[in-house]
A and B are shown apart, each in its own frame.
Chain A
Amino acid sequence: MPQISQILETYASQFFWLLIVFGLIYFTIGHGMLPKIEASMDARDRKIADDLAAAERARAEADNLGDSGAADLTAARTEAQAKSSAAKAKAAKDADARLAKADAEISIKVAASEAELAKATAKALAGIEAVAADAAADIVAKVSGAKVTSAQAATAVKAVMSHG
């Protein structure tokens, strides 16, 4: 077994080269390259964790926004409904008022027209009496030759008309 039979001749060389090689591995690879690799692994892990946290935050924010948006929408709808019903009520009131005013104006006009009509009727009636008295006087003169004063004729017409 050369490992044991050669041990006295080779141990110094084995120790010497192993210490050199292992020292190089320990210092250049173990302490030089390994931390860099671990740093990049840590950086990646951190980045993934950060990104996940950011996504989670954004999701919560979006949820929040959605909630507040829904609330805003409800508030706006309620407000719009209130406004529209108020406007409706106001319009109805206005219409009522205007209707009442128009009614009043119309009834005044109607009253005035009726009064005028009555006056016109009276006037017409009076005209008719005068015409009838004249006609009656003429008729009397032609038929009997008697002269009737217009006052007498008017009295007679009046009497007839009021009777009849």
Chain B
Amino acid sequence: MAGESGKIDPMHQFQIEPLAQLNIAGYDVSFTNSSLFMILVLGALWLFMWGGMKRDLVPGRWQMAVEGVTGFVNNMLTSSVGPEGKKYVPLVFSLFMFILMANFMGMMPFGIVPGVHPFTVTSHLTVTAVLAVISFGTVLIVGFWKHGLHFFSLFVPHGTPWWLLWLIPLIELFSFLIRPFSLALRLFVAMTAGHVLMKVLAGFVINGLNAEAAWVPLVVSIPSFILMIGITLLELLVCAIQAYVFALLTSLYINDAVNLH
């Protein structure tokens, strides 16, 4: 965390470090700390789901939690897409849970073990871009599969006056094409900004304690620490909200593709 000069670099947490070199077809696909955390997310998610697989008639706490999440995603899709939305539950559920778990995994206090740093997979543009492309690609495939070229009528909303027909489709097309970027950037920026803020505040706490003047810890470290508790709680909320926003927007976009508004 600390640089050579003793400064705390809030960007260091996003550094990708290869753990095992791997090369396939000329591409560097090394197993990195990012890959490690993806695997951890997979493991945590699998464990979570496995605990809910008892399939009791009267669910226990864990099963209740798992059924709560699946019911939540199910409801989101049925309310925004309709009965046809059931087909997309696995996709939206995977997106939602992967983002949620990755966000939370990056908030885990692994840092108390010396030399270990938590890594937030979703704070990387490369990751959020792939997720956004998966979401957007699903919309494109479903749209053209179900409606063929008629899918382009999505860009001409009902009741468009004829004299605006040259402008409205252009705007609609633009807003449609910007969707993957907004999906990817929203998640990436939210996670990055939150983690940078937390690291900066942590830096205040530590540097204040290390300061030579005795008044500095009192004036800087303690207020920063108190603020950091609040920011951490807020960040946990943001973790859940960002996963929810991603899943909700994906289901709304799927609704466009399935029902053409």
Contacts and interface: CB of A to CB of B under 8 A. Distances in A.
Interface residues of B, number: 53
Contacts of B74: 38
Interface in A1-28: 1-4, 6-7, 9-19, 21-22, 24-26, 28
Interface stretch (B41-49, B221-229, B253-261): B41-49
Please classify the interface of chain B as helix (H, G, I), strand (E, B), loop, or mixed, using the class held by over half of its residues: helix
A119 interface: no
B127 interface: yes
Contacts of A25: 42, 45, 94, 97-98
A17 B14 contact: no
A34 B94 CA distance: 10
Contacts, number: 131
Interface in B8-25: 11-12, 14-16, 18, 22, 24
B68 to A, nearest CB: 10
A16 B41 CA distance: 16
Contacts of A24: 42
B70 A41 contact: yes
Contact of B66 (A14, A31, A37): A37
Contacts of A65: none
Contacts of B14: 1-3
Interface of A is mostly: helix
Given A16-B27, A17-B31, A25-B97, A11 B89 contact: no
A95 interface: no
Contacts of B93: 29-30, 34
A31 to B, nearest CB: 5
Interface stretch (B50-58, B146-154, B231-239): B50-58
Nearest to B24: A16
Interface string B93-121: 11001100000000000000000000001
A34 to B, nearest CB: 6
Contacts of A9: 16, 28
Contact of B127 (A1, A14, A40, A41): A14
Nearest to A6: B16
A77 B148 CA distance: 78
Contacts of A14: 16, 32, 34, 124, 126-127, 130
B35 interface: yes
Contacts of B81: none
A2 B11 contact: yes
A59 interface: no
B130 A19 contact: yes
Contacts of B24: 16
B39 interface: yes
A36 interface: yes
B126 A37 contact: no
B29 A13 contact: yes
Nearest to B52: A37
A102 interface: no
Contacts of A28: 46
B91 interface: yes
B125 A4 contact: yes
7 smallest beta-carbon distances between A and B, as pairs: A30-B90, A17-B35, A14-B126, A12-B27, A16-B29, A40-B55, A21-B38
